Amino acid sequence: MISTRVKHSLRREWDQNHMAKVGASLIGLFVLCVVFAPFLAPHNPSTQSLQLALIPPFQTWAHPLGTDQLGRDILSRVIYGARISILVGVLSITVATVIGTTVGLVSGYKTGWVDDVLMRVTDVFITIPSLMIAVTVFGLIGAIQVEIPDPLVLVGAAPATMPESFILPGSIIFALAITSWTTFARVARSEALSVSNEDYVTASKSIGGSSPHILVKHVLPNSFSSILVLATLRIGFAILLESSLAFLGFSGAEYSWGRDIATGRDYLASGWWVASVPGFCIVLIVLAVNFLGDWLRDALDPNLEDGGS
């Protein structure tokens, strides 16, 4: 449970941090796009019409953000693209958090040779550039495409003209998790080293508490704040890396902001909005996540309690 002090700190920082409110509002808007895409999208994002190709933004109410080179509605593609970027970011960082936190807590709590082995493995992964690991993963296992049915369309709640499913790039999720867990391992280890010396941990050991019990009941809860802040901030990085991989052609997802930027770069002179609109969305979601992460950091970091923003 969240303590009264932490709740008070969160509330105080929330009242003072207007950028956090902006970030939360933007995230809420994108989450609505993820959940209710079939309702919010004015057209099927895959529908093509060469007669409507490259209509500029704000020229017609039917296509408020314009159309691309194939006549597909930009607003609809942006809404459906939000699903991929946000789901990939959240799922990959969730997996990375679980792996990294487990490695870090065990390493910091056990110390000795266990700590040495786990941290040397972590060091090896840290030295390898994230993008290189991701490209290597694609070369080894190829593109894993997971088809996710859209429940709103399947049950008939959304218009039948909307896509019945969408492709989730499993390879990108796996690659991002592999490239992100090391940061969590470092932070979790640092927290575990600090918490392991506390009196309540020593008392639990003295009465026969097992290592898994102590890690779950004492070490993890007292390390949770730092891990949560890091996870929030890393989601923005994951979204950027997913867009980069999609831009390079490693996604396989039909609705992707990075892929739309890649296809629109050849039309910057005649249709700048094709690449610029999804690029602007990437900037907005990353800024929003960072604003929210900064608020959590300021509210949960005891070292900033007296001099927070």
Q: Is the pLDDT of residue 27 over 90?
A: yes
**For the CA atoms of the chain, what is the radius of gyration?**
22
Q: Is the pLDDT of residue 147 over 80?
A: yes
Q: What is the mean pLDDT of residues 234-258?
A: 90
pLDDT of residue 52: 94
pLDDT of residue 302: 56
pLDDT of residue 309: 40
Buried-state track 21-47, b at ≥16 Cβ within 10 A, e below 16: eebeebbeebeebbeebbebbebbbee
Banded pLDDT at 93 (limits 50, 70, 90): very high
pLDDT of residue 308: 42
Q: How far apart are CA 278 and CA 76, in angstroms?
A: 11
**Where along the chain do its domains lie?**
9-48+58-304
pLDDT of residue 3: 59
The answer to which of 87-101, 190-204, 261-275 has the lowest mean pLDDT is 190-204
What is the homologous superfamily of the domain 9-48+58-304 according to CATH? MetI-like (1.10.3720.10)
Q: How far apart are CA 81 and CA 75, in angstroms?
A: 10
pLDDT of residue 196: 81
Dump pLDDT digits (tens) for 29-45: 999 999 999 999 999 99
pLDDT of residue 1: 45
pTM: 0.89
